[in-house]
């Protein structure tokens, strides 16, 4: 594919995240500002395969910065996982005159972009869009801060009833196999403990929590559990307490998909706006097949392979902070 880029395609893929619309707006406006044409691709990679593509002008992204979800819709597309599907996607892209793609999504979406870029020599730029915050090479991902604040709102409410009834609550939060939402959600909400996948092979986190003197000074407690096969989830821990410590009155709340909705916070809007504008800068500089991240307030280009393959490390010191502050 030639190096002169005149038209970019933009899509959102995988689980939606608050701030995706702000990113779509930023990519669109920045591209138009720099003299590029923009095409919106609907329903993630599926729209590339089926040709659901529409030209985007500046007005198409008006009044969306404050909206959760994604105006482009999103999907997890089985067909794009096959060579035939990707061939169709490539043909549609060429037919639409799209020279480069901006993909907003999590690691599955960036993996798709990496394979597509390699097979068809298509310049692809990724933006980290997931509430899980599990992409290596960026301090935070688009949607993470909003989801964290949603968790706080919920836990603050749960604490009222936990205190009144003197109960032990296990609150399950999202994150797939990453504990960022659980650990930072626990610190920010003043929870008594967090159970995260990164620790699950090292210690029995329930035993540790009980052993560390839970109920020495309080009659109610909140434990935030990251959903994950590695932790077993909140239900698993509640069941264990019912069997091993029947003296405690236990309840479970699974926050689920409400963590994926809502108006993005200022942090997520600013992050998405900066990343979206940086994606167009990267394209104009001739960058390809990189995820744009922000580390220590600087825009960075992270090769797809690095962003996807490396597990983003969680700061385990934060576990000590949580432990110290929850006495």
Which positions are annotated as active-site residues?
A: 132
From candidates 175, 179, 264, 276, binder to ligand F6P by CB under 6 A:
175
Least separation in angstroms between CB 132 and ligand F6P: 5
Calculate the alpha carbon distances from 186 to 80, 221, 248 in Å: 38, 11, 21
Least separation in angstroms between CB 1 and ligand F6P: 30
- Measured from the CB atom, the residue of 96 and 172 that comes closer to ligand F6P is 172
- Measured from the CB atom, the residue of 15 and 123 that comes closer to ligand F6P is 15
Q: Compute the CA torsion angle 160, 164, 165, 168 (nearest 10 deg).
A: 40
Helix (H) or strand (E) segment spanning residue 251: strand 250-254
The SS3 of residue 75 is: coil
Considering only residues 27 through 66, tell me which ones interact with ligand F6P, judged by CB under 6 A. Answer: none
Give the chain's end-to-end CA distance (angstroms, integer): 61
Is position 130 an interface residue for ligand F6P (rule: CB under 6 A)? yes
Report the sign of the C-alpha dihedral through residues 280, 134, 304, 74, in that order. Answer: negative
- Measured from the CB atom, the residue of 56 and 199 that comes closer to ligand F6P is 199
Least separation in angstroms between CB 227 and ligand F6P: 6
Q: For helices 144-165 and 266-284, what crossing angle results, to 10°?
A: 160
Is position 260 an interface residue for ligand F6P (rule: CB under 6 A)? yes
Is position 174 an interface residue for ligand F6P (rule: CB under 6 A)? yes
Strand order in the sheet with 193-195: 193-195, 221-226, 168-173, 250-254
From candidates 19, 85, 106, 129, binder to ligand F6P by CB under 6 A:
106
The SS3 of residue 144 is: helix
Is position 264 an interface residue for ligand F6P (rule: CB under 6 A)? no
Instruction: Please identify, among the stretches 64-72, 128-136, 186-194, 238-246, the one whose residues bind ligand F6P according to the rule CB under 6 A.
Output: 128-136
Residue with tokens 């280009």: 301
Is position 15 an interface residue for ligand F6P (rule: CB under 6 A)? yes
Is position 176 an interface residue for ligand F6P (rule: CB under 6 A)? yes
C-alpha to C-alpha distance for 77 and 80, rounded to whole angstroms = 6
Considering only residues 131 through 150, tell me which ones interact with ligand F6P, judged by CB under 6 A. Answer: 131-132
Considering only residues 206 through 245, tell me which ones interact with ligand F6P, judged by CB under 6 A. Answer: 227
C-alpha to C-alpha distance for 250 and 241, rounded to whole angstroms = 8
C-alpha to C-alpha distance for 242 and 167, rounded to whole angstroms = 12
Least separation in angstroms between CB 95 and ligand F6P: 30
Is position 102 an interface residue for ligand F6P (rule: CB under 6 A)? no
Instruction: Catalog residues that contact ligand F6P under the rule CB under 6 A.
Output: 15, 106, 130-132, 174-176, 227, 260
């Amino acid at each position: 594919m030639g190096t002169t880029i005149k038209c970019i395609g933009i899509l959102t893929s995988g689980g939606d995240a608050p701030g995706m619309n702000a990113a779509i707006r930023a990519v669109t406006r920045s591209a138009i500002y720099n003299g590029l044409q923009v095409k919106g691709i609907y329903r993630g990679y599926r729209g590339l395969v089926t040709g659901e593509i529409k030209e985007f002008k500046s007005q198409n992204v008006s009044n969306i910065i404050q909206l959760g979800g994604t105006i482009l819709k999103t999907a997890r597309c089985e067909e794009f996982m096959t060579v035939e599907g990707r061939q169709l996607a490539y043909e549609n892209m060429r037919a639409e005159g799209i020279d480069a793609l901006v993909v907003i999504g999590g690691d599955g979406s960036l993996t798709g972009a990496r394979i597509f870029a390699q097979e068809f020599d298509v310049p692809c730029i990724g933006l980290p869009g997931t509430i899980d915050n599990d992409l290596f090479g960026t301090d935070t991902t688009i949607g993470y801060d909003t989801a964290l604040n949603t968790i706080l709102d919920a836990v603050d409410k749960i604490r009222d009833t936990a205190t009144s009834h003197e109960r032990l609550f296990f609150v399950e939060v999202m994150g797939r196999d990453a504990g960022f939402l659980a650990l930072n959600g626990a610190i920010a909400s003043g929870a008594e403990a967090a159970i995260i996948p990164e620790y699950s092979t090292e210690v029995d986190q329930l035993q540790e929590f009980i052993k560390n003197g839970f109920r020495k000074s309080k009659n109610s407690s909140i434990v935030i559990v990251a959903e994950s096969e590695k932790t077993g989830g909140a239900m698993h821990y509640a069941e264990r307490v019912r069997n091993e410590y029947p003296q405690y009155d236990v309840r479970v709340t699974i926050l689920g998909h409400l963590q994926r909705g809502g108006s993005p916070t200022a942090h997520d809007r600013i992050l998405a706006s900066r990343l979206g504008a940086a994606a167009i800068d990267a394209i104009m500089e001739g960058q390809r097949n990189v995820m744009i991240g922000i580390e220590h307030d600087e825009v960075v280009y992270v090769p797809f392979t690095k962003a996807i393959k490396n597990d983003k490390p969680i700061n385990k010191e934060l576990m000590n902070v949580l432990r110290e502050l929850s006495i």
